[in-house]
């Protein structure tokens, strides 16, 4: 396997973020912003948390009708782009390569380093354990949003799913919770991207070339 890769790419390893990943990343960024801000417009007509509303300026759509139309347009981009991303991630092995394994020891190390404010980020090509967990949480939350979204979009056609989710109103609460998780992820993700701007640049240009076989090495070699 390694030999085959070496023959097809004899000199240079592939980039950290290949072009399809970059395209899907930014399409997803747009889809998420559309879904979240239009969702806030829909939310405000019947608040899940009594008395809590999203301000006008943060909402996509002047009132519920355009917000709903944005939401049901954005859902296709989010779901289709997400499906292609997951398909690509599984087919190329990227998901496993980037996000696994997560070792408890590494998590403890990363948290300790973070608390001591000397988190290493010179090497963009390997994610630390906390990063891996955050990305996995974001992917799972995205999938959950699609599932709870389908449930509250079509509670009669998918009535089995709705009762599995604890009823229509609870499915709404879950959809709201999933949004909150994703917004929390986005805040951390965007803040860190600006703190370490080379990561932002890498998601535009593709980033550094991976050393050949580096992915396998990180998975197989015990420290």
Partner 1 sequence: MTPRFRPVERPDPAILDDHRALLRAIDRRRLLRGGLSLGALTMLTGCDVRRPDAVQSALLTLRDMNDAVQAWLFDPRKLAPTYPASQVLKPPKFNAYYDVTKVKPVDAAGWRLELSGLVADRRPWTLSQLTTLPQRDMIIKHICVEGWSYIGEWSGIPLGSFLRRVGADLKAKYVAFRTADDYPSSIDMATALHPQTLLALDYAGKTLADPFGFPLRLRMATKLGYKNPKWITAIEVTNRYPSGYWEDRGYSWFAGI
**How near is the Cβ of 216 to partner 1 at its closest, in Å?**
35
**How near is the Cβ of 167 to partner 1 at its closest, in Å?**
9
Residues 6+ apart with CB under 8 A from 53: 43, 44, 47
Which CB, 33 or 100, lies closer to partner 1?
A: 33
Of residues 75, 136, 85, 73, the one with CA closest to residue 107:
136
Residue count of the chain: 223
Give dist(CA 130, CA 78) in Å, integer. Answer: 25
Residue 2, classified by CB atoms within 10 Å of its CB into exposed (0-12), middle (13-18) or buried (19+), is: exposed
**How near is the Cβ of 8 to partner 1 at its closest, in Å?**
32
**How near is the Cβ of 188 to partner 1 at its closest, in Å?**
21
Give dist(CA 171, CA 182) in Å, integer. Answer: 16
Determine the straight-line distance between the first and last CA of the chain, rounded to whole angstroms.
24
Give dist(CA 107, CA 72) in Å, integer. Answer: 38
Which CB, 155 or 184, lies closer to partner 1?
A: 155
Q: Which one-letter DSSP state was computed for residue 50?
A: T
Which CB, 63 or 90, lies closer to partner 1?
A: 63
Give dist(CA 24, CA 22) in Å, integer. Answer: 5
Which CB, 24 or 215, lies closer to partner 1?
A: 24
**How near is the Cβ of 67 to partner 1 at its closest, in Å?**
10
Which CB, 58 or 108, lies closer to partner 1?
A: 58
Which CB, 61 or 208, lies closer to partner 1?
A: 61
Give dist(CA 31, CA 83) in Å, integer. Answer: 13
**How near is the Cβ of 202 to partner 1 at its closest, in Å?**
21
Which CB, 67 or 128, lies closer to partner 1?
A: 67
Q: Which residues bind partner 1 (CB under 8 A)?
A: 27, 30-31, 33-34, 42-43, 45-46, 48, 60, 62-66, 68-70, 72-74, 76-77, 152-157, 159, 163, 168-169, 172
The residues pairing with 49 across neighbouring beta strands, listed in sequence order, are none
**How near is the Cβ of 113 to partner 1 at its closest, in Å?**
35
Q: Which one-letter DSSP state was computed for residue 15?
A: B
């Amino acid at each position: 396997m390694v030999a085959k890769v070496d023959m097809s790419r004899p000199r240079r390893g592939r980039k950290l973020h290949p072009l399809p990943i970059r395209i899907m990343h930014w399409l997803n960024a747009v889809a998420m912003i559309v879904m979240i801000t239009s969702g806030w417009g829909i939310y405000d007509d019947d608040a899940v948390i009594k008395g809590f509303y999203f301000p006008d300026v943060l909402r996509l759509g002047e009132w519920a009708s355009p917000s709903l139309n944005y939401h049901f347009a954005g859902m296709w981009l989010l779901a289709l782009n997400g499906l292609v991303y997951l398909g690509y991630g599984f087919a190329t092995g990227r998901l496993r390569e980037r996000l696994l394994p997560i070792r408890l020891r590494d998590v403890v190390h990363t948290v300790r380093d973070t608390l001591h404010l000397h988190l290493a980020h010179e090497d963009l090509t390997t994610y630390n354990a906390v990063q891996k967990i955050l990305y996995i949480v974001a992917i799972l939350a995205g999938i959950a949003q699609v599932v709870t979204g389908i449930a509250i979009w079509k509670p009669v056609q998918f009535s089995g799913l709705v009762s599995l989710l604890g009823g229509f109103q609870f499915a709404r609460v879950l959809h709201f919770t999933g949004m909150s998780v994703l917004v929390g992820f986005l805040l951390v993700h965007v803040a860190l991207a600006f703190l370490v701007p080379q990561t932002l640049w890498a998601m535009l240009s593709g980033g550094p070339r991976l050393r050949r076989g580096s992915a396998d090495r990180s998975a197989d070699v015990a420290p």
